[in-house]
Chain A
């Protein structure tokens, strides 16, 4: 199930038990809805533990996209995958804060490297907790 050649779809890559998607185009509302569905299915299918969303190419994030990113994160959490949004630009961060959206409950990291680190650390902590219990 690859979507590489289909227009209006954002490709999702799998690295180990992580899913990586980078948003390289201006997001249309429909695209992110499709992305939400695709991602939910992929997580369920691959039993992924982490989702990395790279938005470093995005100049503009409006309130709809912000809410969608929060939704995606919540859906992933229910499917037992933690989401990390990486690479947000300063201007985008300022705009979101000014809009009053601080993406509660969404984890963020500076770049893909750091995001991966965060997911691994989270997984390790979880393993340690289970081991203790």
Chain B
């Protein structure tokens, strides 16, 4: 690695700024990461110019290759902003990193013009520019992945929260409509949520509606039974509704028995049963 204090890069950057910018945008276009379909050219130009300005400022007092240091704060912020913009606009990680990496060619060309008589300096400067730009390119990759991970985590959380709503249908009657696959961890959350809801809403009857559950295997059936038994211990009765014909066949085929749990074909009949059990009667129609 060349001596950072003697780097010719900062001087080069300020001297050829306009030429580098023009060539860089052309280079981005050549390697196909310009993506005029995702982003307006004016925005690309603005981001490119802003990056060059920050890069020049960051290397003003010599090139520091530790891009986590304070000196690179502005460049990092700027790259974070650019990357997040591109995540939102549907760029791939490669396209985002290539935005930085495409800068190599214009810089190399300027270096060649400036130092074509001094191969030693030329190689050293080319190497230091490569190291620097690779680091910055990889940094955008990190940011990109972090952004994606945040999104995935948020969605996961939201799905867990959404997936076990407890609905109060009537005085003393609550329903828990389940949608999606029930695995062990989710079944556990379902059980806990349901029992908490029994305490909170003072429910006497809980209807677990599994219309939206595509498959029921022995494990899921076991979990449902456990939930029903636990609810029973707390003084609430469980009704399982929405069992599709196919699932009914599976349950019988698997030999799972559902004693002390009332099962109904749909939510309507479960609700009717629940009303009857709590002694609610309707007059008239």
* Chain A interfacial positions (CB closer than 8 Å to B): 85-86, 88-90, 92-94, 96-98, 102-103, 108-111, 114-115
Residues of chain A lying within 8 A (CB to CB) of residue B110:
none
With a 10 A CB-CB cut-off, give which of B195, B229, B234 has the most chain A CB atoms: B234
Q: Which of B191, B198, B202, B233 contacts A102 (CB 8 A)?
A: B233
Q: How far is the CB of B145 from chain A (nearest CB, A)?
A: 38
Contacts of B202 in A (CB 8 A): 110-111, 114
The interface residues of chain A lying within 8 Å CB-to-CB of B199 are 89-90, 110
State whether A108 touches B204 (Cβ < 8 A).
Answer: no
The minimal Cβ–Cβ distance linking A63 to chain B, given in whole angstroms, is: 14
A97 near B233 (CB under 8 angstroms)? yes
Pairwise interchain contact A114-B233, C-beta atoms closer than 8 A: no
Q: List 13 A-B contacts (CB under 8 A).
A: A88-B235, A90-B234, A93-B230, A97-B229, A102-B229, A102-B232, A103-B233, A108-B234, A110-B199, A110-B204, A110-B234, A110-B235, A114-B235
Contact in complex: B195, A114 (CB < 8 Å): no
B226 at interface, CB cutoff 8 A:
yes
Could you give, for residues 19-47 of chain B, a 1 whenever the CB lies within 8 Å of some chain A CB and a 0 otherwise?
Answer: 00000000000000000000000000000
Q: How many residues of B sit at the interface, in one of the four size bands?
A: 10 to 19
**How many residue pairs between the two chains, A and B, have CB atoms under 8 Å in the bound complex?**
54
Interface: B82 (CB within 8 A): no
Tell me if B's interface is mostly helix, strand, loop or mixed.
Answer: helix
Q: Are A98 and B233 in contact (CB under 8 A)?
A: no
Chain B interface (Cβ < 8 Å from any Cβ of A): 191-192, 195-196, 198-199, 202-204, 226, 229-236
- Whole-angstrom CA separation of A92 from B192 in the bound complex: 11
Partner of A94, one of B195, B203, B232, B236: B195
Residues of A within 8 A of B204 (CB): 110, 114
A97-B230 CB under 8 A given contacts A90-B192, A90-B198, A114-B204? yes
Separation of A89 and B200 alpha carbons in the complex (Å): 11
A19 to B192, CA, bound (A): 32
Contact A94 to B198, CB < 8 A, known contacts A102-B229, A110-B234, A110-B236? no
CB–CB B230/A86 < 8 A: no
Among residues of A, the one whose C-beta sits closest to the C-beta of B279 is: A121
With A110-B202, A114-B204 as known contacts, state yes or no: A90 contacts B235, CB within 8 Å.
no
CA distance in complex: A97, B230 (Å): 6
Question: B196's closest neighbor in chain A, by CB?
Answer: A90
Residues from chain B with Cβ under 8 Å of A88 in the complex? 233-235
- Asked if B226 and A98 make an inter-chain contact with CB atoms under 8 angstroms apart, the answer reads yes
Question: What residues of B have a CB within 8 angstroms of the CB of A115 in the complex?
Answer: 235
